[in-house]
A and B are shown apart, each in its own frame.
Chain A
Amino acid sequence: MEFMKEALDLAKEALQANEVPVGCVFVKGGIKVAKSRNKVNETRNPTRHAEINCIDEVLSYCQRHNFDQINFFKDIVVYVTVEPCIMCAAALKKLYIKEVFFGCPNDRFGGSTVLDVNKIYTEGFKLTGNILPIEAMELLKQFYKGTNPHAPESKVKKKSNMSIDKN
């Protein structure tokens, strides 16, 4: 719960920065090893979801400390405010992350809701949802009431009536 609250704070930070409000914390043995939020607009790279940013943080952390990357991921627990999308779920599976807790489901892109990545990657994390889902959903709703300022005009219009778009 405590880590999910921190992830929610990161999601709020994303909202303030006009990004899809998703936040994420990676925990290993009860200790936080990475935290990030969605940075799609900032980087103009649509794959810079909170989870991917956290993975990069862990990788450079391993590099700095000369840790074996592959082994390091194996007992990491992920707290993310929205169900990981298909891309992030596949990424977390490929890294053999131990466990993932998420806030609200992701009806548009969810790696379990929309397409079950377990069918392709049978090994890997256990997924548990509904950890503070109302708070996570509320942030998304706030975001989609506004619009994505970096999308071209036509796309902004199209997007305004969608619920969850990125992530």
Chain B
Amino acid sequence: MEEPQMKRKPNVIDCHLNSLKTTKKPLNVVMNDMTSQPLIPTYVGHIKNVRDISKIVLLLNQKVPVKELQHLKRVRKQEVVICPTEYVNDMSIEDYLCKCDEGFKDIFGAFEVKNVPKLPPKLKKQYEDAKMFWPCNFHPDKYLEKLYSGQFFTEQELDSHRRYMEVAFLAAKWFDVQNVAVVVDPTISSVVAIGEDNRKCHPMQHAAMLAIDNVARTQNGGAWQSQMDDDTFIDVKLLDYLKDLDVKFGHRRFKSKQEEDTGPYLCTGYDVYMMKEPCVMCAMALVHARARRIFFAIDNEEDGALKSRVKLQTVTSLNHRFEVFTGFL
């Protein structure tokens, strides 16, 4: 039973390498789910007298401000958004309004609970959908629109992304491991560092963790020992194995002490290509390292932190957020 398992392993990588070379699929961005927009039940009041509208809207903005629904227009014809139903606990909406201000008395003819868009629309498509529920404000974002279009990269760019991913797969084959991270400096189109999954020897040396340390080595730092080519910090024998690829290796050099301070800082501006979606530890390490973009090919159902279990890139309180792309295979 063990035998076929052993033999199958390298073949999987070969299959993947083959599809990497032949595929014409575009890459897709991994972000918040932008297709289904949440709704929130909200009280809407019908104003009896048209002449009261502007006065009441002013009063509502003062006395019942609804910060989280500022993307909504407050008025639609003679109807106004009052507040989410969750604001009004056990009271009736009439009593709630009276509590907020006496001026709301006898203004409304009827109340209704309506589901309205909970979040501001970010894409044109979302705006079209949201409008059907309630009029919204919308600020089109060309970059975001392109990111979600599925045509973010040109054919040429896609080729280069696939080539760097090929480096990751070939290196995984060479190291005989399940994951490899390849760090690329896009300003000089060059592979800066490679990290392989070395956790069988060291439980912290996952591919991304090792790659980050190898990047540190190119910046005169680093914490882990390893035998590397002194010049590139990438294994010489691996470089030899990859020599037929149309890929450049090496990092920007510091010529002086001054340049060291203005030169590459951590992984700022660098792109990282990983065979497998990084785990929580590795994904957060890449946030700390301030990587620009992360590309990965295979989902990590167990503890993947860019798509499968959580999406670290959507956690708004983090000080750095990278873009994540997948869809290689």
Contact = CB atoms under 8 A, between A and B. Distances in A.
Interface in A46-103: 46-48, 52-53, 55-56, 59, 69-70, 85-88, 90-91, 94-95
B317 A114 contact: yes
Interface bracket on A: 35 or more
A34 to B, nearest CB: 13
B307 to A, nearest CB: 13
A42 interface: yes
B222 A47 contact: no
Contacts of B309: 119-120
Contact of B285 (A43, A47, A94, A121): A47
Given A52-B204, A90-B279, A115-B310, A43 B223 contact: yes
Contact of B221 (A44, A86, A119, A121): A44
A152 interface: yes
B289 A48 contact: no
Contacts of A108: 317-319
Nearest to A44: B221
A86 to B, nearest CB: 4
Interface residues of B, number: 36
B262 A90 contact: no
A44 B284 contact: no
A150 B312 CA distance: 26
Per DSSP, chain B at the interface is loop
Contact of B284 (A55, A85, A94, A95): A85
Interface in A98-128: 107-109, 114-115, 117, 119-121
Interface stretch (B46-54, B121-129, B147-155, B211-219): B211-219
B318 A114 contact: yes
Given A44-B216, A152-B261, A59 B266 contact: no
13 contacts: A45-B216, A45-B221, A46-B290, A56-B223, A86-B284, A87-B280, A88-B281, A108-B319, A109-B284, A117-B280, A151-B265, A152-B262, A165-B319
Given A47-B209, A91-B204, 6 more contacts: A44-B220, A55-B204, A56-B223, A114-B318, A115-B315, A121-B303
Interface of A: 39, 42-48, 52-53, 55-56, 59, 69-70, 85-88, 90-91, 94-95, 107-109, 114-115, 117, 119-121, 150-153, 155, 162, 165-166
